[in-house]
Amino acid sequence: MKISVLGIGGTICMLKDSSGGVNPKLDAKMLVESIGLSEDIKIEAKTILSLPSPSLNYDNLLEVLKTAKEEIKNGSTGVVVTQGTDTLEESAFLLSLFWDEAAPLVITGAMKNPSEIGADGASNLYQAILVASNTNSLNRGVLCVFNHTIYQPRFIHKSNSFSLETFVSINGGNIGYIYEKDVIYISPIYKNKIYKTPNSLNKNVAIIPTCLDGDSMFLNNLSGFDGLVIDGFGAGHVSFIAARKLKELNLKIPCIITTRTGSGMSAYKTYAYEGSEMDMQKNGFIMGSFFDSLKARLFLTMLLSNGFSNNEIKKEFENYYKYF
Ligand code: ASP
């Protein structure tokens, strides 16, 4: 059995240097060596990138996807990607839209760098390798492994800036655990809807927050964007002023309204006041369903890059979280 470990950066590979702080230093081979794997698994370790995850971009992730697929073609039965946790929920979700292999693609990282007491990187990497090499992981698409837990990209969220227990599943459960070196799935296989991988994800989608008395944000120039995500109040609402302003703009680009609450679904047919979901839908705005604003932005970018029309985009948003 051969597992590929692809390093792309993050705290898991960072060490203190003369700057006084930590920076990416360890390559993928060093990370693998640090866990002293005793299992009968051949590891192919490659460093693709060495970046803090806020500086990852779409091209980087398309490169990760391409390399991971090559590794499978070259005989690996699973792939592990090590990256920073700050954008892990976004890269995992984006990769999950394109990963069409039966073999698992497992993403992990660390909250504490290797020189800190209680560093979690080696343990997370070890667990990710166990998951990637387990036959029960087949046909489960992209998985995230952290702190003994297996997450689905569509639900994963980083919820704390320092805690080792930072990752949580929102609107859905964790799908498995790694205890006593065993990989234990507690849910059936969920089908992932797979989309064509575009040559580039060069669409510009903005996220606009909503906040009390924050209407001035909607007065900014919204030209130059291919799509918008408005992180709406409550079940996906905007203020009277924002609603008027947005309607006046007569936008031709798709505009998705999500909920800023952190969990739950946007409404479709409950509220009718100005700025509510019923009012905004009548004016061509698309409700975000179970997507948070970060995942909505990625999803919209992918749909636009694949040439989906506004009507098709509406349907994809409505149905994505109902696809099993
Ligand atoms: N800032 C780091 C990064 O996202 C944190 C981490 O690796 O978890 O790369």
11 CA distance to ligand 1 middle (Å): 5
Is the per-residue pLDDT at 323 higher than 80? no
How remote is the CA of residue 26 from the centroid of ligand 1, in Å?
14
With respect to residue 272, please indicate whether it lies within any of the assigned structural domains.
yes
Q: What pLDDT, in 10s, does the model give residues 268-314?
A: 999 999 999 999 999 999 999 999 999 999 999 999 999 999 999 99
Task: Quote the pLDDT of residue 273.
Answer: 98
What global pTM score does this model have? 0.97
In total, how many domains does the chain have? 2
Task: Specify the ligand 1 atom closest to the Cα of 85.
Answer: 8
86 and 218 both lie in a single domain = no
Kindly report, residue by residue over 107-152, the tens digit of the pLDDT.
999 999 999 999 999 999 999 999 999 999 999 999 999 999 999 9
198 is a domain residue: no
Is residue 68 predicted with pLDDT exceeding 90?
yes
Q: How far is the CA of 12 from the centre of ligand 1 (A)?
A: 8
State yes or no: pLDDT of 199 exceeds 90. Answer: yes
Q: Are residues 142 and 17 in the same domain?
A: yes
Is pLDDT at 234 greater than 90 in this prediction? Answer: yes
Give residue 215's pLDDT.
Answer: 85
CATH of the domain at 297: 3.40.50.40
The alpha carbon of 60 and the centre of ligand 1 are apart by a number of angstroms equal to 16
Q: Please check whether residue 192 lies inside any domain of the structure.
A: no
Pocket of ligand 1 contains residue 176 by CB under 6 Å: no
Please indicate, yes or no, whether residues 178 and 209 belong to a single structural domain of this protein. no
Mean pLDDT of 155-162: 98
Does residue 324 surpass a pLDDT of 70?
Answer: no
Residue 218, pLDDT > 90, answer no
Could you tell me the pLDDT band of residue 222, with boundaries at 50, 70 and 90?
confident
Q: For a substitution probing ligand 1, which of 22, 53, 81 has the most ligand atoms within 8 Å of its CB?
A: 53
The number of the ligand 1 atom at minimal distance from the alpha carbon of 52 is 9
Residue 200 lies in a domain: no
SS3 annotation, the chain: CEEEEEEEECHHHEEECCCCCEEECCCHHHHHHHHCCCCCCEEEEEEEEEECHHHCCHHHHHHHHHHHHHHHHCCCCEEEEECCCCCHHHHHHHHHCCCCCCCCEEEECCCCCCCCCCCCHHHHHHHHHHHHCCHHHCCCCEEEEECCEEECCCCEEECCCCCCCCEEECCCCCCEEEECCEEEECCCCCCCCCCCCCCCCCCCEEEEECCCCCHHHHHCCCCCCCEEEEEEECCCECCHHHHHHHHHCCCCCCEEEEECCCCCCCCCCCCCCCCCHHHHHHCCCEECCCCCHHHHHHHHHHHHHCCCCHHHHHHHHHHHHHCC
CA of 50 to the centre of ligand 1 (A): 11
**Which residue range forms the structural domain that includes residue 220?**
205-322
